[in-house]
Amino acid sequence: MIDMKQYSIKTRLQGGLGIIIAFMVILIIIGTLSLQNINSKLESIISINNAKILLAQAVQTSVSEIDKHFLTLNLVADETTTAERKQAMESAAAAYLSSMEKLKKLETSTQGKGLIADIESNYTIAQTNREKVLEFFGKGDESQAKNA
């Protein structure tokens, strides 16, 4: 073992201070690397969550557009407007399907997957009912369309 008594106080203080500074530099390096790691993980989480939010908004907008055009179809008897609204509904449905596929790929949680399944189930039910109503309106049977 090293006998510290043989060194002067100045040398011992300088050595102790050097050790403390070396530990501080090591802690700063470890802290900086840890913060960079945390920052990259947060950026990943934020970008994924933002993408999910944007896709969910696209789904909501698509469903809203489908509903809006469907209601217009039920109120208007003009063939040109009817054809335009059906085309707009098809475009909104395509946007819905595209957004849902992307959202399913991003979602990893069990709860999120369950919510997506519920949304898809309800969309399928609504789509079936919309098709029935449009079929009745196409036949000119408004009373059946209102009851569907």
List, for residues 25-35, the tens digit of each pLDDT value.
999 999 999 99
Dihedral angle sign, alpha carbons of residues 143, 87, 68, 128: positive
Are residues 130 and 74 in contact, defined by beta-carbon separation less than 8 angstroms? no
**Residues in CB range of 77: below 8 A, 6 or more apart:** none
Give the CA count within 13 Å in the CB-facing half-sphere of 23: 6
pLDDT digits (tens, 9 = 90+) for 61-82: 999 999 999 888 878 777 888 8
Q: How confident is the model at residue 95 (pLDDT cuts 50, 70, 90)?
A: very high
Q: What is the pLDDT of residue 122?
A: 94
Q: What is the pLDDT of residue 71?
A: 87
**Residues in CB range of 116: below 8 A, 6 or more apart:** 100, 103, 104, 107
Q: What is the pLDDT of residue 147?
A: 62
Q: What is the pLDDT of residue 67?
A: 92
